[in-house]
Amino acid sequence: QQPVQSPQAVILREGEDAVINCSSSKALYSVHWYRQKHGEAPVFLMILLKGGEQKGHEKISASFNEKKQQSSLYLTASQLSYSGTYFCGTLDLNSGYSTLTFGKGTMLLVSP
């Protein structure tokens, strides 16, 4: 089942902060975040694992609340290069799949 992302779109000025949320109705093993710029391939940002281990991007942080099956991506002091669509991908081990299910994405536009 597809995770739900919110908001659908965010418009920021350079230097402002944003939070993107991802929630699932399933018990999750991990949450993965990707960014896709227009016309380009999705690019990996971060993995958050059950148990709290985190790997990822040096300028973007994230949290994973296992009990609520929610993750949030925090973009602070946004830069123009942060513009793009952010996708969370979830891994639900009870689904029988060992592959990611992606949300519909959150479009982020950072203006000067």
Partner 1 sequence: DTGVSQNPRHKITKRGQNVTFRCDPISEHNRLYWYRQTLGQGPEFLTYFQNEAQLEKSRLLSDRFSAERPKGSFSTLEIQRTEQGDSAMYLCASSLDSTETGELFFGEGSRLTVL
Q: Can you give the three-state secondary structure of 60-82, one letter per residue?
A: EEEEEECCCCEEEEEECCCCHHH
Smallest distance, partner 1 to C-beta of residue 81, A: 18
10 Å CB burial of residue 43 (0-12, 13-18, 19+) is exposed
Q: What is the token pair recorded at 41?
A: 């391939």
Smallest distance, partner 1 to C-beta of residue 14, A: 26
Tell me, residue by residue from 69 to 108, as one string, x for binding to partner 1 by CB under 8 A and - for no binding.
Answer: ------------------x-x-x-----xxxxxxxxx---
Query: Where in 8-67 is the site for partner 1 (CB under 8 A)?
Result: 29-30, 32, 34, 40-44, 47, 49, 55
